Amino acid sequence: MKDVEIIALMTDQIEVALVAASYNYLIVQSNQPTQQGTPTQSTIFFHKLFEIPYGFPATTQIFNSVNQILTETTEQLYESHWQISALVNQVPGDTTTPTASDVVNYIQLWLSSRTNLRTFVTNGMGMFRIRRSENQYFDNDKSQYQAMPNFEIIFSHKNSVSSSIPFVTTVDGKSYVI
């Protein structure tokens, strides 16, 4: 499974979660070179942290007798670590707007629900676990402390590579003097 497939599946589920909660927020891949400055609208960010191959590659061979071709496929399991964070505009004294931590916790719970786990599995991806929820603060452009909470989510998936080997029809034996 390629990163673009994981991103599409993950962002689709986050989008459904935001609609279900009536949150009108952007979803953006962070650390992109074309994006400059902090967004003015409340935003959910995501980015890939790293990937770990799990176990050993498995190789299978399938012979197609009609085309006389042997197809060799090597598959590897991976743990793919992603970080999801939120930047939610807060107005001091307004208790009706959810905090960034509320939004991140909601997305975390939504992604780990049984309904979403079934969606992930149907599309060839599993959710291994969610870990490390953090709530970091920084000084924003209005000289106010603002939270940017995040959590790490670990997906499991397979990557594979295939190659075709033509069938051997004749063998020429030769003798060599040693």
Whichever domain contains 111, its CATH number is 3.30.2000
Query: Is residue 74 a part of any domain in this protein?
Result: no
pLDDT score at 33: 59
Token representation of residue 159:
């990557």
Strands (E), the chain: 26-29, 43-64, 69-87, 125-139, 145-166
Answer whether 87's CB lies under 8 Å from 38's CB: yes
Q: What is the pTM of this model?
A: 0.81
Between 91 and 104, the more confident residue is: 104
**Cα 91–95–101 angle (5° rounding)?**
80
Across the chain, mean pLDDT equals: 88
Query: Is residue 136 a part of any domain in this protein?
Result: yes
pLDDT score at 143: 74
Residue 34 has pLDDT above 90, yes or no: no
pLDDT band (50, 70, 90) for residue 95: confident
Query: Is residue 122 a part of any domain in this protein?
Result: yes
* Residue 35, C-beta contacts closer than 8 angstroms, at least 6 positions apart: 28
Q: Structurally, how many domains does the chain consist of?
A: 1
- Going by the DSSP 8-state scheme, the letter that residue 141 receives in this structure is T
- Domain limits at 42? 3-48+81-153
- Going by the DSSP 8-state scheme, the letter that residue 77 receives in this structure is E
Residue 32 has pLDDT above 70, yes or no: no
Among 51, 47, 112, CA closest to 79: 51
pLDDT score at 140: 73
Instruction: List residues bridging with 147 in a β-sheet.
Output: 137
pLDDT score at 113: 92
**pLDDT, mean of residues 145-168:** 89
Instruction: List residues bridging with 125 in a β-sheet.
Output: 157
Residue 131 has pLDDT above 70, yes or no: yes
* Residue 177, C-beta contacts closer than 8 angstroms, at least 6 positions apart: none
Angstrom CA distances, 12 to 25, 86, 110, 120, 175, stand at 13, 16, 12, 11, 64
Query: Is residue 33 a part of any domain in this protein?
Result: yes
Highest average pLDDT, of 5-9, 92-96, 145-149, comes from: 5-9
**pLDDT, mean of residues 33-58:** 84
Query: Is residue 166 a part of any domain in this protein?
Result: no
Query: Length of the chain, please?
Result: 178
Cα–Cα distance between 70 and 56 in angstroms, integer? 22
Share above pLDDT 90 across residues of the chain, in percent, rounded to a whole number: 57
Q: What is the pLDDT of residues 48-91, one digit of tens each?
A: 999 999 999 999 999 988 888 999 999 999 999 999 999 888 77
